[in-house]
Amino acid sequence: MTSYSQESTFECGSCLKTGTSGRLRIDAHGKFIYKGAPSAHIMEAIQVGVKHLNKDIVNDNQLHEERCSEFEGQITVNLAADPSTPIKQPPFKFTSHSQYAFRHFRKLFKITQKGYVNTICTEALYEFPNPGRSGSLFFISGNDELIIKTVRTTEAKCILRILPVYYKNIFERPATLLPKLFGFYSYKRNNKNIYLVVMNNILPNKFNIHLKFDFKGSIKTRKAKKTELRKPRPTLKDLDFRHEHGAYLLNEEVWSALKRTITLDAAILTSCNIIDYSLLVGVYDMDRVKYERRSTEDYTNFEANSIRELLAVRNGSPMSQITNSSSRYLSANNSFTIYKRKESYRDARVLATVMEDIRGTPLSALPVNLSLQEELDEAWGGIPAIDHTGHRVMIYFGVIDVLQRYTLKKKMEFFTKAILFQSRRGISVQNPRRYAERFVKFLTENVFRCDKSLQEEHSDHIDYLKTV
């Protein structure tokens, strides 16, 4: 659903800022403790529990259609620590909620049962805390494709409440930016339940993202804090974007598809009485990478040339031999790269989930711009755009934090902030309909645009916008 980098630093023995609950803290050894459970125990429980609950179902054909509509019900197993691991913990209960419904979701997303279990259980999970106010703990699968997030009890109830609408949405409308939910579990120890939801990772680390934004469309207090800005890759917010960045120019067809998808997604969330969601955006700057690579290669070539000449002079070789020798050396070894090549763009386009999410159709049949294929090998899966400086970029995004309902508490928060700021405009908390309208308008008019004035300003890169 979301992705955050592991750049947060905390003092040992401290309690993270988690509102009033204090669910997440750091012990004296620098380890994360969530609701009294060490994170190592939670990770082990996830892998042992998921493997145990799915051990009898390895074939997707075992999924019975008549049971796919079961959004209620649960399967609980009593487990102890896995004997094959050095971690020791008391016996615990691990529960799969709406198991048959989530199995069907995974089938719709073309995730095999075996692939799902292997992704979570084969390699070690790694952890990091949520930099936001929720105080959640995130666990990332070893292949960087799935996120397992701890959620509060109110959010857990929200998941179960919206499942029927969610199922209908993904079944009838493939074009959606809403998070892909793959599983919902609870881990119980010492009479405390820890709820866990499995989702897709919007911004995997394999994408060398240069900029990250979290957009809600509001302006009050929507600015990254100083502690966030000190990180190598901070998550910027609405006011940071307004003050320091500009709109991204998209192809008109892509912009129309994006607007239609975001509008429908917001309507779905409004029908579920959901607010406080945002669009997480990652920007990969292709021209910046091209410049950095060229600078690195130029320096490496210069360094190699200098070393060859020094060695030749030291061995008494004539200057003409030195020059010819260096020339042959560089021509044979001029492929200095700072990034490991991925699969070819043509093969990897099936993973272009962002473009597929807004169009609702696979990209495998679309033509490839061969002149850009080498660069696109490094940035497959995004939406081509041009930023306010004229750089060619690839953009990755998805809707996150869709589990906050518009409750009485949120209504009170709205009125309190309206009095505090002496205005209702720009406040993050709004009723679901107004929140959705503001969200869509800000994204399609301020963040992503396709107007003629921008096209004329960046006319030299217009062909790039037609890339897939």
Q: What is the pLDDT of residues 147-169, one digit of tens each?
A: 999 999 999 999 999 998 888 88
pLDDT at residue 42, as a whole number: 94
Q: What is the CA radius of gyration of the chain?
A: 25
CA 234 remoteness from chain centre: 14
Name residue, tokens 């679309």.
366
> What pTM does this model have?
0.77
pLDDT at residue 298, as a whole number: 54
pLDDT at residue 407, as a whole number: 75
Question: Hey, what amino acid is at 378?
Answer: E
Helices 153-172 and 99-108: crossing angle in degrees, nearest 10, is 40
pLDDT at residue 46, as a whole number: 95
| Residue 32 · residue 13 · CB < 8 Å | no
pLDDT at residue 313, as a whole number: 45
Q: Which residues of the chain have pLDDT under 50?
A: 1-21, 63-68, 310-311, 313-352, 364-368, 370-371
pLDDT at residue 289, as a whole number: 83
Region of 67 on the Ramachandran plot (φ > 0 left; ψ -120 to 50 alpha; else beta): alpha
| Residue 48 · residue 82 · CB < 8 Å | yes
Q: Edge-to-edge strand order for the sheet containing 24-26?
A: 24-26, 32-34, 37-38
CA 73 remoteness from chain centre: 30
pLDDT at residue 449, as a whole number: 93
Contacts of 109 (CB under 8 A, 6+ apart): 170, 180, 182
pLDDT at residue 25, as a whole number: 81
> What token pair was written down for 123?
């390699």
Q: Is 342 exposed, middle or buried (0-12, 13-18, 19+ CB in 10 A)?
A: middle
pLDDT at residue 85, as a whole number: 63
